[in-house]
Structure 1
Amino acid sequence: MDLAPSALMGPLLMLIGYVGLGFIAAQRLKIDPRPIATLLVYLIAPLTIFRALMNGGPTLEYLVLTLAMFLLVSAMALAVRWATQHRFGPQEGALLAFSSGTGNTGYFGLPVALILLPPEGVTLYLFCMLGINLYEFTVGFYLSARGHFSVRQSLAKIARLPLIYAFFLALLLNALNATLPESLMSSLAVFPATYTLLGMMIIGMTLSQVTLAAWDTRFVATCVGLRYLLWPLVMLGAVLVLQQFTPLAPELAMALLLFGVVPMASNVVVVAMELGIQPQKGALAVLTTTLLAPLLIPLYLGLMLRLTGLG
């Protein structure tokens, strides 16, 4: 499968445009991004996940993918937290741990998945992505909070996150074969686009407040290494191992490889801003990995497809 860099320009330009809108809004309109971060965490993200689950009709096989991805990225984040806790300050270490377990699988990865994968492959991608979303607002949120709060305070913050309850409510309704009114589902359709727009704009809003003092070469280089060295190796290893022990659908293999090459998640900035842990450093790292994406993704995917026999 050949992935030309031009195929990525549409999603990339869209993302950069949203970042630019956020920058202009903060500069010209003096908009404070912190209430928007709170809105994303406590309202827009839960409703987006709830709608996706109600539309997707989760089966046991799909939920196994969600659980497996959740466990994998949680283990990665915990390992990075252990490895970096004595090399970075508490806040930088917490931000690194959070970012190591996630990526821009939605805002950037999903448009690319729609280009590369058939409908069944996109469904597999979405349920794997859900495991990463759950990580962000459970284990990832806890690791981030621990950079600034006590264990008890961190757990209390997780208990207040509505995304967890939205996830289990959707599973319960599906198990009961309950259907929501079409008018309600239609009204929820605005949230995925809103999540994408505000999630990327908040990076620009944060960058508008960045000074040169916020640039940390060691921190940004570590983020780039985690995103474009650790993740490709882990996803490539996962596909190769699965191919040895079970018939692995090419669509699932391609979805897993795609998770390994997307840039850093913009939710790194959202969570950092909500918890007050170095959002400027996070925004600079996210922007750096996003700008590298159209150069590295075709190269990485081409090599990984050949190594897994899918090319």
Structure 2
Amino acid sequence: MPKFLDSFIADMIKVYSVLGMIIIGLSVSNLVKFTVDSRFTLAAFISKFIFYPLAINIFIILDKITFAIYTTSHYNALKLLSLAPMAANIIVISSIIKFHPERSAATVLLSCIFALFYIPLMIALTLQL
């Protein structure tokens, strides 16, 4: 990668993080009443916090057994990515298509709160140092 892009990429990471927090804050501030759609939230949590890490771990096991293309550092990075809370782009997309943005905002907020406890627990249980 060209050297002149290093500072741009470093700044872009910071801007992207702040933008995500702004989106979550604005969407939560527009909530008139904080209601949780339990079916939607449960389905989103199961897919994000159970099925997605499970799929990543199956991929890692298959790679270790068959090709062994990746190293332990790659596996740890994949595991960390699979543990992250739901992204703010869910709120943006649901706002654009007018599909209950308040439900997705509440779910993303709950996902971030849940991830405060889930990520350290899963790191302690599964990460290989």
Q: TM-score, normalised by structure 2?
A: 0.83
Amino acid at match of 1:217: S
Q: Which residue of 2 aligns with 1:240?
A: 61
Structure 1 residue ranges, 4+ long, deviating more than 4 angstroms after superposition: 184-190
Cα distance change on mapping 1:273 and 1:225 into 2, 3 Å: same
8 Å Cα contact 1:231-1:260 kept in structure 2:
yes
In 1, Cα distance between equivalents of 2:114 and 2:40: 16
TM-aligned CA deviation for residue 188 of structure 1: 7.3
In 2, Cα distance between equivalents of 1:300 and 1:187: 32
Amino acid at match of 1:276: K
| Structure 2 runs not aligned, ≥5 long | none
8 Å Cα contact 1:199-1:270 kept in structure 2:
no
In 2, Cα distance between equivalents of 1:209 and 1:246: 49
Which of 260, 284, 295 is 2:117 aligned to? 295
TM-aligned CA deviation for residue 239 of structure 1: 0.8
Cα distance change on mapping 1:187 and 1:237 into 2, 3 Å: closer
Give the percent of matched residue pairs that are identical in Structure 1 and Structure 2: 27
Amino acid at match of 2:22: M
In 2, Cα distance between equivalents of 1:299 and 1:213: 28
In 2, Cα distance between equivalents of 1:261 and 1:286: 14
1:115-150 Cα shifts (integer Å, max 9, x gaps): xxxxxxxxxxxxxxxxxxxxxxxxxxxxxxxxxxxx
Q: Which residue of 1 aligns with 2:40?
A: 219
Cα distance change on mapping 1:245 and 1:186 into 2, 3 Å: closer
1:274 equivalent to 2:96? Answer yes
Cα distance change on mapping 1:255 and 1:187 into 2, 3 Å: closer
TM-aligned CA deviation for residue 214 of structure 1: 4.6
Cα distance change on mapping 1:223 and 1:194 into 2, 3 Å: same
TM-aligned CA deviation for residue 216 of structure 1: 0.8
In 1, Cα distance between equivalents of 2:8 and 2:53: 38
Cα distance change on mapping 1:249 and 1:272 into 2, 3 Å: same
Amino acid at match of 1:290: C
Superposed, which structure 2 residues align to 1:1-311 within 5 Å? 57=1, 182=4, 190-212=11-33, 214-247=35-68, 248-305=70-127, 310=128
1:135-190 Cα shifts (integer Å, max 9, x gaps): xxxxxxxxxxxxxxxxxxxxxxxxxxxxxxxxxxxxxxxxxxxx69x4x8757764
| Structure 1 runs not aligned, ≥5 long | 1-56, 58-178
TM-aligned CA deviation for residue 207 of structure 1: 1.1
In 1, Cα distance between equivalents of 2:75 and 2:6: 31
Q: TM-score, normalised by structure 1?
A: 0.37
In 2, Cα distance between equivalents of 1:281 and 1:202: 14
In 2, Cα distance between equivalents of 1:280 and 1:203: 11
8 Å Cα contact 1:239-1:253 kept in structure 2:
yes
SS in 2 for 1:212: coil
Q: CA RMSD in A?
A: 2.5
Amino acid at match of 1:300: M
